[in-house]
Structure 1
Amino acid sequence: MDEFLKHFRTKQLEESTEKVMSTQCPYCSVQCTMDLIEDTVLTNKRFKSKPNKNSPTSGGRMCIKGANAHQHVYNDERITRPLLKIDGEFVPVPWELASEYIAKQFQSIQHSYGNDAVGVYGGGSLTNEVTYLLGKFARVALKTKHIDYNGRFCMSAAAAASNAAFGIDRGLSNSLQDIPDTNCLILAGTNIGDCQPTIVPYFRQAKKNGAYIIVIDPRETATTKLADLHLKPKPGTDASLAQGLLKILIDEGFIDSEFIASRTNGYKELAEDLSSVNLLRVSEVTGVSAEDIITAARKYGEAQNGFILTARGVEQHANGSYTVGQFINMALATGKIGRYGSGFGSITGQGNGQGGREHGQKADQLPGYRSIEDDEDRKIIADLWEINESDLPRKGVSAYEMIEKMAEGEIKGLFVMGSNPAVSNPNGVYTEHALKQLDYLVVADMFLSETARMADLVLPVSSYLENEGTLTNLEGRVTLRKAEKPMPKTIKHDWEILCDLAGYLGAGEAFDFSSAQAIFEELRLATKGATADYYGISYERLSHETICWPCPDEQHPGTERLFDSDFAHADGKAIFTPLDLKNEVDDTMINDEYPLLLTTGRLMSHYLTGVQTRRSADLLKREKEPLLDIHPDTAECYGIQDKELVELKSSKGTVIIRANFTKSIRKDTLFAPFHWGDSQSVNRVTQPRLDPVCKMPEFKRTEVSVVPLVEKAPILQVPEGKT
C-alpha cells in the first residue's frame, strides 16, 4: 500500500501544473491588483489569491471580496450559451439565431412605435471600452435616445455637485497619497471600513500622524472606529448639518478670504443667506448636539490641511446633489482644495464607477463628459462616428424614469448589459411590473439574475478574468486589466456582442472592431480635448504604468491633483452652491403608520445586487441573508425578538427580513443591505423620490413600519428619535 501511495503521489506531482493569472478585483472602485494562482493536480483545480503591488492605490492590499472573486467565474450556475425563452422555459440556441432574433424584435418594435421605443440599460462595472461602445450602440445602431445606467444610483449626486462647483467631476481631487499628511478628515456618509477596506491604511496613517477624524453616519460602523468625533444625524438631514458647520466656519473666522476672492464666485450671497441659519434649529433637525457641530467645525477650520470625502450616505437622497454642494462649500470657504494635503472627493462605489460615468452611457452624455445637447460636442462625435449630426439623438431620461416609461408603455423593448435593474431600482414592486410590460427584454449577464429570469433572451458574457479592458478607479486613475483566462468557446465578450448585434441592425461598418484595444483607440479620439481627456493614454503606456486623467498627450504624466491653479469653469473659478433652506427634509411623512426611517447600504462580503458575490461560496458563507439592524429598545416597542423574521413595510411594498439587534444605530433608524433579490430585496420598500437635478433616488431615507412576521401582543410606546 505504501508503494502504491508513493507511486500515486509521484504521478500527481508529475502531472500537476501551476498557472499565475495577474488581474484586478472586479468589485469596488479601488481596483486592487492581485495574482490568482491556479494549481491543477490531475483533473482537480485549486485556487489561491494573493495581492500584488502593481497598483499605487491599494499598495499590495486585498480584501475578502477580492480574495474570493474567482469563485463566481467557476460557478456551475454560469450561463454558457444564449438562452431563448420558449413557453416560459429557457432553451439554448446558437449565437447567430439569438442575434438575428434580437435584431428582428427590436426592429419590429421601432418600426411600429419609433426608434425611442427601445432602450439600453448599462452598468458601472463595465470596462471603459464597453461603456463607450454601449453609448455608440444605442445612438448609432439603435438610433434611440433612451440609454442610462445603474451608476445613476451611485455617483450622479456627487457628479452634479462637482460639475456645478468645479466644472468637472472626478471622484477625488487629489491622490490618496495625500491623505496621511492631512490634519483633519471629514468622512460624510462613507463607510470605507466595509466598502473600500484596502484604502483604510491611508486614514490610519493620517490618524497616527495626528489628524483629527470626523465621521458623519447614523450608524456605528467599521469606519466610525477611526473617528475622534462621530456625528449621528437623522437620515436625510445632512444638508442642514453641512449648513450648520459652514455657518460656524464663517462666524468664527475660519474662512480663507484671499482664496475666496481670487478663485471663487458666489460667496457673498451665500454668506448673507447663512445669517438666517440657526444652530439650535440645525441641532433640532439633525439630532446632533450644537456642541458637537461646533467642535467639528472648529477642528476642520483650525486645521492647516483638510479633506472632505462624501459617499452614498449623504448622496442618495432627493436633495443629494444639494447636500454635496454644501460640503464642497466648506472646502471652498476655507481654501482647503487645490493643494497638497487638502481636497474634496466622493468615494466612488462600483468597479468602474468613474469611467462608467464618463464615456456615454448616461442619458445626457457623449464620450469624455461631452454634452449630448452641446452643438460643438455633437459635431465632434458625429464626425468621428461618420454620421450626420442631425441623426444623433438628443438626451433621454434617467434610469428610474426609463422604468416609468416602460410601465407607461412608451419604452417597449430593452437591452440590459451589466446590470440588474429588477433589484437595484427603488420601488421594486413597480419596477418588476414595468419590466413585465415590455414586449421584448434582452439581458447580457454571466448568471440568471433576477432581471435575466424575466428576459425573453439571455446572452452569456465573459468574466473579469477573460475580458481585457481599461477601468478608471476612484482616483481617476486609468488601469489596464489583461485577459488571463481563456474564455469558454460558447461565450462572447460584451463588446463582441454589441458589434455582432450592430451588424444585424445594419450598422456593422461603425462597429468593425477586432479587440478591446481597437475600441480604446477610438475612445481616445472621442475624448481628445474634452473634460475627461484620455487622448494621451494608450495600452502601451498602461502596460507598465497607471495614469490619472486628464492626460492630453502621450508625453503628459497624467493629473493626480486637480485645481492647483484653476478650476474647470471658463473663468477658472469655482462656484459656491447657493443656500436653499427649502431643501430641509420633510418630517411630515413620518407618522403612526410609518414611524421609523430605513437607510440602506453595503456589506463587506457582497457587491451591488449580489449576482456575483452570492455565487461565491466563501462570501455567501460569511453573510447568507440580509439582516435588519434595529436598536433593542426600538425592537422592544414592536414586540420583536432578536433574529426573528419581521415584515418591513413602506407605502411601496413589503420585505421579509431577519431582525438583528444592535446598539450601534439610532433608535429611530433601521438599516438593511441591498445585496439580495426577490422577497428579500430591500428596494421593494424604498421610495422613488428623485433629486430634481441629477435624478438620484432617495435610497437612504424611507419611512417604514416593522412588525413580527407572526402577530403578537400590542406594541409599547414608540421611541423618540434620539440616539
Structure 2
Amino acid sequence: MHPTVTPTHCPYCALQCGMNLSVSGTGGAGAGVVTVLERESFPVNRGALCGKGRTAPELLAPGLRLTGPLVRDARSGRLEPAGWDEALDRVAEKLAATRSAYGADACGVFGGGGLTNEKAYALGKFARVVLGTSQIDYNGRFCMASAAAGQQRAFGLDRGLPFPLADVARTGCLLLVGSNLAETMPPALRYLTELRANGGRLIVVDPRRTRTAEQADLHLAPRPGTDLALALGLLHLVVAQGRTDEEFIRDRTSGWEETRAAVMAHWPEHVERITGVPVPRLREAVAMFCGAASSMVLTARGPEQHAKGTDTVSAWINLCLATGRAGRPLSGYGCLTGQGNGQGGREHGQKADQLPGYRKLTDPAARRHVGRVWGVDPDTLPGPGRSAYELLDALGNEVKSLLLMGSNPVVSAPRAAHVERRLRSLDFLAVADVVLSETAALADVVLPVTQWAEETGTVTNLEGRVLLRRRAVDPPAGVRSDLEVLAGLAGRLGVDRGFPVDPEEVFEELRRASAGGPADYSGITYGRLAEGEGEGVFWPCPSGNPNEIHTQIPSDDPSEAVGVHPGTPRLFLDRFGTEDGRARFVAVGHRPAAEEPDAEFPVLLTTGRVLAQYQSGAQTRRVGALNEAAPGPFVQLHPRLAARVPVADGELVAVVSRRGRAVAPARISTDIRADTVFMPFHWPGEGRANSLTNPALDPTSRMPEFKVCAVRLEPVGPLPPPPPASRRS
C-alpha cells in the first residue's frame, strides 16, 4: 500500500514552513508511520526545515500526549481518567455556578497564539456570547503586542510584515533589532545570506553576539533596556547629517515637527552613555542604512518586550519614515511575529479589546456588524476586559473560574511563581491542551484536543499570508477538537446554535464577520487556499472584483480575474491605513527600564530562546532529539562577571531577582556584555527564568517587561554527580 502524502505546515513558529506529511501503514485512528518530507514549492521556506519541524510528528505518539479527559478526584486530589460527558458536564456546571454566584466576569478565558484562526474566532465568540464575560485575553499579549500597537498608531494597521519575506533578500540594508533568527526561525536565515550575496548590508542590534549577529556587517550591542535611546540616537544623526527625505515627509506623513524636536535631545554622546554603543558605530549604522537605495527595519521581542516597547517600536518606525523607507518597494518596518498563528490569533477576537477582522470592541459600528453575524444584540456584547497578565493576576480574586486553551503560563508568564499561585487559588480551572503541560497539571479538568496534523484549519503567518493546514492522520479515539469542546460546552450552557465543529463552516462565518474590517478575509475560501501549490492568500482580501471595491489599502498586483480579489502582498505602497492615508510620526523620548540595577541587584537579566526548544517547551521537551540538543536551562555570563561571583563554567549559579530565584549551570562566554546575563525560558522548576522576570506593563500594549530586570548572582557549587548506573542482575 502506497503512503499518502498531505501538504501542510509546521506547528511551531510564525514562518509556518510548508512541509509534506507521508503517512504509511494501517491499523486504526492515529496509527501509521508519519514522515516529514520537504515541500520545496512553498515560497517561505522552500523546503528548508529546522529540527523542531522535522521531529514534529513525534508528538502524535500516544505515549507523549493526552489521549483521554482527566478529572481531579475530590478525595485523592489526583487527576483520574474520565469520559467526555463527565468532563464537559463538570466544566459547564462549574462555569455556570461561577457565573450565577459572582457574575459573568468571574469567568475567565485564556487563549493561545498557536490556535488556528477558526479556534481563536470560536473562543472569542464563546467568551462573549455564551459566558457573557469580558475577561478574555491570550498569550500573544506576551509576544507581539507592542509591535502591533506601534504599527497601529503609525500606519493605522498592524500586519507583522507589510511585505513578503522574500523582499528582505532584495533590500539594500536590513537593520535587525533584537532577533536571533538563526535560532528562533532557522529557515529564514537564508534570506539574510541571500541579502548579503545580493550586495545588501546587515546590521544586527543585540546585547549578545548570537549566531545571527555573527552574520552581520555591523553588530551593535546595547545595554538591555536601551533600544529606544539607540533608535532616537540614530534618527538624531539622520537629522544632523541632512539625510531626511523631506519630500516623503511632506507628502505621506504627519507629526514630523514634534518628532524632530524630540530626537534632538538625544545627541550621539548622550546615547553612547545610555546604551554603551560607541558614537563611531552609531555613525556607521546611519551611513549603511541611509546609503542604500532601499532599507528595512525588522524588530522582534528584544526591543518589544518592555514597559516602553510600544514607544521603542515607534522610534524605529520614525527612523523609517524620516528617511522615506516606508510605503515604498523593498523598504519599510516589520515585526517578526513569533508564535505559529500569532498574527491570525490577534485578528479575530480572542484579544481583550478586539472583535473579528481586527475590529475594535469599543466601535459601535463594529459591534453592530459582528452582532448581526452572530445573531445577537450588540448591546449584550461585553466591553474590553483585562490584558493577559492582569487577567492572570486577578485569578482567585475577581476571576474565580478559568477556561484555558493552548497556553502554559506556569512557565511562560512573567513573575511565574506568583502566576502559579494565582492559578492554584482558582475555584475551578479547565485546560484544553495536547499534552499535560505544567499548567494542565494544576487543572480540575483536562480536555485532550487535536493537534496540527490531526485537524484542518487556517493560520496566518508573519507575512499576513493565510494558509490551509490539512488533516493528515486521525487523532486517538479519546481526543476531540477544540471546536468540538466549545460546541459541547456551549450546548450545555444553553446555546445550541452558532458553534459548528466543521472548521470550514467556522471559517465561512469568520469571513462574514471580518468583511469590511482592517483584517478582511471575506475574499478567502478554503477552495482558494487549496488551489495550486497552496501558497496562501495575503490579507486584506475583500470579496468581489478589486476594480469595484474601495479598499483602504489597495493591492499593488491587481488580479485579471473578474470578481476575485488577489490579496495584498505589499501594504502601504499607495497610502497608509489611516483615515487620511498618511503615516503618523509619534514623538517619543527615552526613559529607563522599569527596574534598573542597584547595589542589591547589580546585574541585568535578559531572556530568550534556544534553537532546539520552543516557547514554554511543553511540546519540544517531550522530543528526545531536541532534549539531547538542549537538555536544560543555563546562565550565560561574561568571564569578568563570572570571576566576581565567583563561578566556573558548568557550575551551578543562582540568579535572584525581587520576584524569585532560579538555578542553572553557568555558561561563560565573551559573546555577552559584562553587565548582563542571559537565560532561556523554556524550562519549569528551579531553572524557570520567568520566576525572575518583571510584570511591569507597557501603558499602551500591556506587554510585560520580559527582556530586562535587575538581578544578583550567587554561587551554588558544582553540578551534582549523575545517579549511578543500575547493575544488571
Fold shared by both chains (TM-score > 0.5): yes
Equivalent of 1:346 in 316, 335, 357: 335
Pairing 1:237–2:226 present: yes
Alignment of 1:325-364 (within 5 A): 325-364=314-353
Is 1:312 the counterpart of 2:297 in the alignment?
A: no
Of 507, 513, 522, the match for 1:520: 507
Q: Show the counterpart of 2:665.
A: 658
Of 542-551 and 269-278, deviating more is: 269-278
Which amino acid in 2 is paired with 1:516?
Answer: P
Aligned residue for 1:358, secondary structure, equals: coil
Among 204, 208, 216, the residue aligned to 2:197: 208
Answer whether contact 1:80 1:460 (CA < 8 A) is retained.
Answer: yes
Q: 2: distance between equivalents of 1:461 and 1:706? A: 41
Instruction: Read off the aligned partner of 1:639 and give its amino acid letter.
Output: P
2:3 alignment partner in structure 1: 18
1:495 — aligned with what? 483
Deviations 1:68-99 (A, max 9, x none): 01111215031111100013111111111111
Q: Which residue of 1 aligns with 2:653?
A: 646
Structure 1 residue 628, shift from structure 2 partner: 1.1
CA distance in 1, matches of 2:33, 2:90: 40
Alignment partner, residue 561 of structure 1: 570
CA distance in 2 between partners of 1:48 and 1:659 (Å): 37
Structure 1 75/252 Cα, relative in aligned 2: closer, same or farther at 3 Å? farther
In the TM superposition, residue 41 of structure 1 has moved relative to its aligned partner by 9.9
- Structure 1: how far apart are the matches of 2:362 and 2:651? 53
Look up the match of 2:105. 116
Provide the rounded CA distance (Å) in 1 between the counterparts of 2:299 and 2:121. Answer: 27
Paired residues for 1:425-436 under 5 Å:
425-436=413-424
Measure how far apart 1:20 and its partner are.
Answer: 3.1
Counterpart of 2:441 (choices 453, 467, 474) is 453
CA shift, 1:331, in A, is: 0.7
Structure 1 SS opposite 2:394: helix
Which TM-score applies when normalising by structure 1?
Answer: 0.94
The alpha-carbon deviation at position 40 of structure 1 amounts to 4.4
Show the 5 A alignment for 1:169-188. 169-188=158-177
Q: What are the within-5 Å matches in structure 2 for residues 290-301 of structure 1? A: 290-301=279-290
- Structure 2, unmatched stretches of 5+, are 545-563, 720-729
Q: In the aligned structure 1, how far is the partner of 2:474 from the partner of 2:128?
A: 32
SS in 1 for 2:655: strand
1:465 to 434, 438, 453: 453
Give CA deviations for 1:538-568 in whole Å, capped at 9, x if unaligned: 0000002410000012511110100011111
Q: 1:507 aligned to 491, 495, 503, which one?
A: 495
1:592 to partner: Cα distance = 2.1
Displacement of 1:711 in angstroms is 10
Per-residue CA deviation, residues 641-684 of structure 1 (Å, 9 max, x unaligned), is 11111211100001121111111000111111111112221101
Q: For each residue in 1:598-629, what CA deviation from the matched residue of structure 2 results, as whole angstroms up to 9, or x when unmatched?
A: 11111111111011101111111111101111
Q: 2:593, 2:708 within 8 Å by CA — same for their partners in 1?
A: no
Paired residue type of 2:443: A
State the partner residue of 2:17. Answer: 32
CA distance in 1, matches of 2:428, 2:132: 17
2:560 is aligned to none
Contact 1:75 1:616 in 2 (8 A): no
Q: CA offsets per residue over residues 351-395 of structure 1, 9 Å max, x none?
A: 001001100010000001101111110111111111111110000
RMSD between aligned residues: 1.6
Shift of 1:690: 0.6
- Pair 1:70 & 2:79 matched: no
Residue 423 of structure 2 aligns to a residue whose secondary structure is helix
Q: 2-side partners of 1:40 and 1:485: how far apart?
A: 11
| Displacement after TM superposition at 1:45 (Å) | 5.8
**Paired position in structure 1 for 2:260:** 271
Report if the CA contact (8 A) 2:321-2:585 is conserved: yes
Q: SS in structure 2 opposite 1:458? A: strand
Tell me the SS of whatever aligns to 2:702.
coil
Q: Distance in 1 between matches of 2:8 and 2:55?
A: 13
Aligned to 2:607: 600
1:511-590 matches, within 5 Å, as 511=499, 513-544=500-531, 545=534, 546-553=536-543, 555-581=564-590, 583-585=591-593, 589-590=596-597
CA distance in 2, matches of 1:51, 1:339: 34
Q: CA–CA distance in 1 between the matches of 2:432 and 2:485?
A: 9
Q: Is the Cα contact below 8 Å between 1:21 and 1:485 reproduced in 2?
A: no
Alignment match, 2:394: 405
User: Is the contact between residue 23 and residue 473 of structure 2 (CA under 8 Å) also seen in structure 1?
Assistant: no
Counterpart check, 1:706 vs 2:682 = no
Which residue, 683, 691, 694 being the options, matches 1:684? 691
Amino acid at match of 1:150: N
Kindly indicate whether the alpha-carbon contact (under 8 Å) linking 1:597 and 1:670 is maintained by their aligned counterparts in 2: yes
Q: Match for residue 146 of structure 1?
A: 135
TM-score, with structure 2 as normaliser: 0.93
Find the residue that maps to 2:454 and give its secondary structure. coil
Q: Which amino acid aligns with 2:542?
A: P
CA distance in 1, matches of 2:169, 2:349: 35
- Counterpart amino acid of residue 687 in structure 1: N
1:574 Cα shift? 0.6
Deviations 1:155-208 (A, max 9, x none): 000000000000000001111221222111100001111111111111211111
User: Is 355-364 or 249-258 further displaced after alignment?
Assistant: 249-258
Query: Aligned to 2:511, what secondary structure does the other structure show?
Result: helix
Distance 1:186 1:640 in 2: 36
Displacement after TM superposition at 1:509 (Å): 1.2
Alignment CA distance shift 1:42-1:500 (3 Å):
closer
Q: Distance in 2 between matches of 1:102 and 1:176?
A: 43
Deviations for 1:480-538, whole angstroms, at most 9, x for unmatched residues? 00101011121100111111111001112122x14100000000000000000000000
Match of 1:131 in 2: 120
CA distance in 1, matches of 2:135, 2:220: 41
Q: Does 2:244 match 1:255?
A: yes
Q: Which amino acid aligns with 1:94?
A: G
Distance in 2 (CA, whole Å) between partners of 1:711 and 1:480 is 50
Q: Matched residues, percent identical?
A: 44
Q: Could you report, residue by residue, the CA deviation over 1:235-294 in whole angstroms, capped at 9, with x for unpaired residues?
A: 000000000000111111111111111110100111122222221110000000011011
- Corresponding residue SS for 1:22: strand
The answer as to 2:636 corresponding to 1:629 is yes
SS in 1 for 2:395: helix
Q: What is the CA–CA distance in structure 2 between the aligned matches of 1:384 and 1:51, rounded to whole Å? A: 40
Higher alpha-carbon deviation: 232-241 or 29-38: 29-38
Instruction: Give yes or no for the alignment of 1:484 onto 2:472.
Output: yes
Whole-angstrom CA distance in 2 between matches of 1:275 and 1:668: 28
Give yes or no for the alignment of 1:388 onto 2:373.
no
Q: Check the 8 A contact 1:239/1:584 in 2, yes or no.
A: no
What is the rounded CA distance, in whole Å, between the counterparts of 2:478 and 2:62 in structure 1? 16
Paired with 1:378 and 1:45, the residues of 2 have a C-alpha distance of: 47
Are 2:625 and 1:618 aligned? yes
Query: Which residue identity is paired with 1:573?
Result: R
1:671 aligns with 2:681: no
